[in-house]
Amino acid sequence: MTAYNLTVARQVIIHGDCWPVVSAVAHLSRAVLPGSECETTYTLPELLQQLHRKPEA
């Protein structure tokens, strides 16, 4: 049987190169998970920097 992890993600990083899609997903994430931190990145160095700062994301 599959077990599901129902804990709320506290830190979310959304990465992509299509600005409208990334911002829409970020907006939905903030609406669904109001207690979490949501960051968006568009470049690989920025993503790596965010992952270094927030390894739990």
Give the structural domain span for 48: 11-53
pLDDT over 70 (residue 16): yes
pLDDT over 90 (residue 9): no
**Per-residue pLDDT band at 1 (split at 50, 70, 90):** low
Q: What is the DSSP letter of 33?
A: -
Asked whether residue 5 is assigned to any structural domain, the reply reads: no
Asked whether residue 40 is assigned to any structural domain, the reply reads: yes
**Per-residue pLDDT band at 6 (split at 50, 70, 90):** low
Asked whether residue 2 is assigned to any structural domain, the reply reads: no
What total of structural domains would you count in the chain? 1
**Per-residue pLDDT band at 8 (split at 50, 70, 90):** low
Question: pTM higher than 0.85 for the full model?
Answer: no
Asked whether residue 47 is assigned to any structural domain, the reply reads: yes
- b/e sequence 12-38, b meaning 16+ C-beta within 10 Å: bbbbeeeeeebeebbeebeeeeeeeeb
